[in-house]
Amino acid sequence: MDQVAASSQRTRAIQHILAGIFASQRTLRVLAPEFKWAGLGNLLGDFGELVAIEAYGLTKAPAGSSGYDAVDPDGRTVQIKANFAASQVGFRGQADLLLVLAVKDDGTWTEIYYGPFAPIADASRRSERDNKSLIALSKLRQLAATYSIPHEDASRSIPAIEVLPIEPCSLE
């Protein structure tokens, strides 16, 4: 097979995968229409918000809320961040609480930090280029030891589902 044909097959395979992702996004919009599920970068954020709201008993913030994604049962605002592979998380604005979840490639997740927002804001660095504050996950874990809000282990409150392994595909 020549290089042009291989490249064309590769492009078609990638198009097929993207079509599957976009079809999945449309399905997600039907299942949870309160989230946008738009763009590839927003998928992780919307998933993190959905999981956090369901597992932590939060209420989704009204559309257009600035600096927070949800409200806890005590009326405190919560900014929710989901992380997949980055070594840090970025945030804009202010909230009463910050909840950061680590999401694995099988969709399971664990809590990195759930506690007051102010100590995180104080320990973060500002990126003027990105117009947001950044904090390393390692620093979040350190701060979690001091500031985490005691609560039931939320990662166990949503039953696990079986995720089928991804089948390798041939480009031939």
Task: Give the pLDDT score at 72.
Answer: 95
d(CA 68, CA 97): 9
Total number of domains constituting the chain: 2
123 and 138 in a single domain? The answer is yes
- Contact between 113 and 100 (Cβ < 8 Å): yes
pLDDT digit string (tens) for the chain, length 172 residues: 555 566 567 777 877 887 888 788 889 889 999 988 877 667 888 988 998 998 899 999 998 899 999 999 999 999 999 998 899 999 999 999 999 999 887 888 899 999 999 999 999 999 999 899 999 999 999 999 999 887 765 554 445 545 555 555 555 5
172 belongs to a structural domain: no
Whole-prediction pTM value? 0.76
63 and 85 in a single domain? The answer is yes
Task: Give the pLDDT score at 157.
Answer: 43
Which pairing describes strands 97-103 and 77-83: parallel, antiparallel, or unpaired? parallel
**Which alpha helices (DSSP H) does the chain contain, by range?**
3-31, 39-56, 117-123, 137-147
54 and 15 in a single domain? The answer is no
70 and 95 in a single domain? The answer is yes
- Contact between 136 and 87 (Cβ < 8 Å): yes
63 belongs to a structural domain: yes
170 belongs to a structural domain: no
45 and 128 in a single domain? The answer is yes
70 and 3 in a single domain? The answer is no
DSSP assignment of 24-65 equals HHHHHHHH-TTS---HHHHHHHHHHHHHHHHHHT-EEPPTT-
Domain limits for position 86: 38-156
Task: Give the pLDDT score at 65.
Answer: 92
